[in-house]
Amino acid sequence: MAVFRRLCHFRKVKFLEFYLTETCCGCHVDKKQFGTREAKSPDLLWEDYARLKDAVQAQPHPAPINPDSIFTNNELDLADMDVYGFDYDYTLASYKESLHHLLYSLGTEALVTGYKYPAAIKSMKYDPQFAVRGLHFDVHKGFLMKIDAFHNIQLGTVYKGLEPVPDEEVIEQYQGTHVPVDNMSGFHGTGGNMVQLMDMFALPEITLMSNVIQYFIEHSIAFDPGYVFYDVKTAVQNVHKSGELHASIMDDLPKYLEKEAEVSQLMNKLSSAGKKLLLITNSGYAFYPAAIKSMKYDPQFAVRGLHFDVHKGFLMKIDAFHNIQLGTVYRGLEPVPDEEVIEQYQGTHVPVDNMSGFHGTGGNMVQLMDMFALPEITLMSNVIQYFIEHSIAFDPGYVFYDVKTAVQNVHKSGELHASIMSDLPMYLEKEAEVSQLMNKLSSAGKKLLLITNSGYAFVDKGMSYMLGSDWSDMFDVIITRARKPQFFRPKRPFRSFDRTLGTQSWGRVTSFEKGQIYQEGNMDDLQKITGWHGAKMLYFGDHVYTDLADATLSMGWRTGAIIPELEGEIKNFNSEEFTNAVTWLSSLQDLIEKSQVLHDSPEAEAVRQEWLKERDQLRVATKEVFNPRFGSLFRTYHNPTYFSRRLSRFADIYMSSLTNLLNYKLTHTFYPRRAALPHEVHYGSGLDGCSMCR
């Protein structure tokens, strides 16, 4: 964002000599004089172009952005925070990329074994580069896509399976690029057919879904994208629910879990400061060919936050205005031509009724948001690709829900947790800084709260690996199996958990003991028992919807989002190549816009068409820096993504790692930047000698 704002800060650049009074700094335009403007020759236009480009290239490069910084959306004074609450997965515990490969593999196995998907999809590997978080999946069309903050699909980011959907097809499918709000699923994935894949596990889920769709397409297998979506989602969920994932992690913690000393440092810092620490975490029947088991997870395939159209089977990127980003629509692993996207959607806009809600309910556009979404997206795309390649008829909705269920079952069954626990070093980052942070907070008198959806055995294994066997003594309240987002609704009571017997109590919980383990419960009871309310609470989580939306909207908690992708994105921002390209792109677009008021000859118009062509090439090039299919997690060309807009609404601050908090004093106040609105003057951004201002 800083790069783009700096484009209006060139104080010593002699700007173009156009005969008009408008400028990028918001000066008045004398529209009565437009009719008297003279045409410019192509030679003069190219001279203007050359002068501007030379001026842009002569500017000093901005100072690099520190990826360990904390970034502010809303003013927050740490001195006012008495209680610090945390999610477990990807907040306190940082997992290695190997976990996504594991989740993808388990989800694929669940699809083949439990849902009878073609075994060939097992050969389709997980590509960690395929997707980004926050993508939306249209469960009706089977399109995976990136949607910006205004519900506009980012053309060029719509995929069906692993193949991009042509922009024309996206526009046709959506009657443009805008997705109506009713089509968007809610914060928790409910409602709407546009489901966003948001959490940190979304990438394997996205990749799995895309691989499945790709397989179906390549094998001419008829399918409903919605079925694939929900199959993949359920399969991945079952890997979690069954305990298989947790068991795998616990069996080899070094393989999956980063052991970060900084986490302990942070906890100690908070505890030493007298802060209270709170931990809150969540820890059908179909036939799929066994061949999909050969389709491996590609970690480069997708990004989080994509949407999947469960009706059309398209995976795509949607912007903040519900517009599909053409060029990011995939059916399986193949891009969907823009013409097809436009035809399918009657443009590129997705009606709001088609978008699933925060929690994935409602609408056929389902967004794949969490950190586990990428394997799910890839699996779904691989399955669709397999069906397409083998001429297998399928409904995208079936594939979507099959994949979703398969992945959910990997979670629910405990299979995923079992795999992680069996090799912690492989899956979990061991960060010493986590302990430092906990100690810093505790020493400052802050209360520490852990709320997680994961079960105690899994959390204990990971936390002991990272912080030591006495980790629970750091926290004032520990809540496992919290069932977020249901935790934020006043229904289920708390139950005390006996660590020795592994059983829950039957009596009512009326008080919390430090170091004791509690399960389930709800937000109302938590606040009544502890007396911790609203503005004094700062809760960190990786899932913008499940962890943060209800906490800030309903409870008034202050919130911090953990966005691991930030580090890589900032690295790209800081590159000289990207800075030069995006600076020139913005300047060139400004030049094109201001030249429109001239009464030009056909030759001059031809020059402008060349500029527009160069601008389009620059847009694609700057997008592909982040992901060749879907681009940045945060931006669809010039618009913020659907994910980015929600991040700014539900997170007061955001950062790449929880331990970035160690870089700040606990009395630090985070101030958001004042960004000029479109109708406001960009103070201090005028150009000396700008002919537009004369």
- Cβ burial 210-240 (10 Å sphere, 16+ → b, else e): bbbbbbbbbbebebbbbbbbbbbbbbbbbbb
Q: What is the rounded distance in angstroms from the CA atom of residue 195 to the CA atom of residue 685?
A: 40
Q: How many CA atoms lie within 13 A of 173 on its CB side?
A: 42
Phi-psi region of 684 (alpha: psi -120 to 50; beta: other; left: phi over 0): left
Phi-psi region of 469 (alpha: psi -120 to 50; beta: other; left: phi over 0): alpha
Contact indicator for 329, 144 with CB cutoff of 8 Å? yes
For 269, the token pair is: 């810092």
For 206, the token pair is: 């996205």
Q: What is the rounded distance in angstroms from the CA atom of residue 25 to the CA atom of residue 10?
A: 11
Q: Is residue 247 helix, strand or coil?
A: helix
Q: What is the rounded distance in angstroms from the CA atom of residue 524 to the CA atom of residue 592?
A: 55
Contact indicator for 488, 449 with CB cutoff of 8 Å? no
Contact indicator for 322, 178 with CB cutoff of 8 Å? yes
Query: What's the residue count for the chain?
Result: 694
Q: Where do runs of H (alpha helix) occur along 390-422? A: 397-405, 415-421
- Cβ burial 191-208 (10 Å sphere, 16+ → b, else e): bbbbbbbbbbbbbbbbbb
For 5, the token pair is: 């704002």
DSSP secondary structure letter of residue 663: G
Indicate the helix (H) or strand (E) that contains 198. Answer: strand 187-201
Task: Determine whether the annotation assigns residue 77 to a binding site.
Answer: no
For 651, the token pair is: 């997170």
Q: What is the rounded distance in angstroms from the CA atom of residue 54 to the CA atom of residue 263?
A: 47
Query: Beta-strand (E) ranges in 521-590?
Result: 537-541, 558-562
The CA radius of gyration of the chain, in Å to the nearest whole number, is: 25
Q: What is the rounded distance in angstroms from the CA atom of residue 683 to the CA atom of residue 693?
A: 14
Residue 60's identity, in one-letter code, is P
- Cα dist from 447 to 116, 438, 443, 690, whole Å: 49, 10, 10, 55
Q: What is the rounded distance in angstroms from the CA atom of residue 591 to the CA atom of residue 330?
A: 33
Q: At what angle do helices 397-405 and 225-241 cross, to 10 degrees?
A: 0
Q: What is the rounded distance in angstroms from the CA atom of residue 626 to the CA atom of residue 240?
A: 29
Is the previous residue joined to 166 through a cis bond, with omega within 30 degrees of 0? Answer: no
| Pairing verdict, β 119-120 and 290-291 | antiparallel
- Cα dist from 503 to 415, 458, 459, 594, whole Å: 20, 15, 16, 70
Strand partners, 428: 95, 257
Q: What is the rounded distance in angstroms from the CA atom of residue 22 to the CA atom of residue 8?
A: 14
- Residues ≥6 apart with Cβ < 8 Å to 477: 276, 277, 278, 279, 447, 448, 449, 450, 512, 514, 518, 526, 530
State the binding site for Mg(2+).
542
State the binding site.
542
